[in-house]
Chain A
Amino acid sequence: MHNFNNFKRFLGVLAVVASLLVIATIVFRMQQEVAPKLAVRKLPVQVDVSLQKFHYTETKQGAKRWELTADRAEYNKKADISYLTGVRMLVHGAGGVGDLEITAQHAEYHNGTRDIALIGDVRGKSDKGYGFFAPRVNYIAARTLLTTAERVRLTDVGSQLEGTGMEYQAQTRKFRLMKDVTALYRQEGK
């Protein structure tokens, strides 16, 4: 009888120990399986909204004037400027002059004026075969004018032009180089 009581006590203790071990294991497992932290990039203090794959189209009287796309856009509400990265701008020409595609590493899009500062390896290329290259170009939306104070190089079929400072009328493709101009015209395909 005494032995039977001892055995019952032993089983009771065993059951309690086993229960404690199960609870301890569950608690330990739960602590190990905490959900991973979300890798949210902290926005800079001056950025209010950050967007991936930005696209903006400017129209006038129902016709597309230009389109702006970017891999990333960060909007600063206080300055009312969107800072764009991986930029592509497509200017639709008037009067059959064709489209002009401009790419740049970065851009600052001024929401109020719709002016755009294209910065870093700015390259323009028209579907008529000519193009330009400059380190920085500003687009003045009200005048549909591309301007730069930097050295700019323009290439066309049969010619190569260089100058410092440029005003380039995006709609008509007329342009002016402001100083230190050099031009090379190849003759008869030479």
Chain B
Amino acid sequence: MMRRILFGSVLALSLFAAAAFGAQATGSSKEPLKVKSDTLTTDNEKKTATFEGKVVARQGDMTLYADRLVVSYSGPGNEVSQVEAFGNVRIVQQERQATGAHGVYDPKTARITLDGNPRVVSGEDVVTGKVIVYYVNEQKSVVTSGPKERVEAVIHPGGKDAGQKR
């Protein structure tokens, strides 16, 4: 039976899917980042690489799909400092899937901030809000509401993950 929960606070934080997504850290932010796309434009002055067209980025067990991806790098080792995704952003990690119009990935904190109708889906459970912060290693999401958009979650307690430790 489906249960709908509406959170009332203006800036509500919802910790979502600890059970649904598991709690083991994967350490995927240390893994190499592999990107495939139609085209690539780089700017050595700005230290950016812009991938466009059917972009697929993989790091560890996480896969990100987008129309456009801008990789920023810095330091003597040219380490990736930020990955910004634009258009039809979809992140898949195991059974968890997050979507939005725009996303920013910070490899140092292993955190993805999604906006533009962000939505996290795990099985039949769904959470939406104004901004969703997706913690890659901890496999959890924090959903933030906006002044006009409240956090909305649809959780199926009787789902296959029900009863797991939260």
Residues of chain A having any CB pair with chain B under 8 Å: 95, 97, 156-159, 161, 163, 172-190
Contacts and interface: CB of A to CB of B under 8 A. Distances in A.
Contacts of A177: 39-41
B34 A184 contact: yes
B78 A183 contact: no
Chain B CB count within 10 A is highest, among A172, A184, A188, for: A188
A187 B79 contact: yes
A178 B37 CA distance: 10
Nearest to A161: B40
Contacts of B79: 158, 185, 187-188
B43 interface: yes
B77 A183 contact: no
A179 B44 contact: no
B13 interface: no
A127 to B, nearest CB: 13
A78 to B, nearest CB: 40
- Please tell me the size bucket of the interface on B: 20 to 34
B163 interface: no
Interface of B: 29-45, 49, 51, 71, 73, 76-80, 107
Given A176-B41, A178-B39, A190 B32 contact: yes
A173 B29 CA distance: 29
B78 A158 contact: yes
A185 B42 contact: no
Contact of B40 (A183, A186, A187): A183
Contacts, number: 87
Contact of B33 (A97, A157, A185): A185
Contacts of B39: 163, 176-179, 181
A159 B43 contact: no
Contacts of B45: 95, 172, 174
Contacts of B32: 184-187, 190
A97 B34 contact: no
A179 B53 CA distance: 9
Contact of B43 (A95, A174, A178): A174
Given A163-B39, A175-B42, A188-B30, 10 more contacts: A156-B78, A172-B44, A173-B44, A176-B39, A183-B36, A183-B37, A183-B49, A184-B33, A185-B35, A185-B78
Contacts of B43: 174
Contact of B41 (A174, A180, A188): A174
A134 to B, nearest CB: 15
Contact of A182 (B36, B71, B73, B107): B36
Nearest to B50: A176
A97 B40 contact: no
13 contacts: A156-B78, A157-B77, A159-B78, A161-B42, A172-B45, A174-B43, A177-B40, A182-B34, A182-B35, A185-B80, A187-B29, A188-B79, A190-B32
A115 to B, nearest CB: 23
Nearest to B43: A174
B73 A185 contact: yes
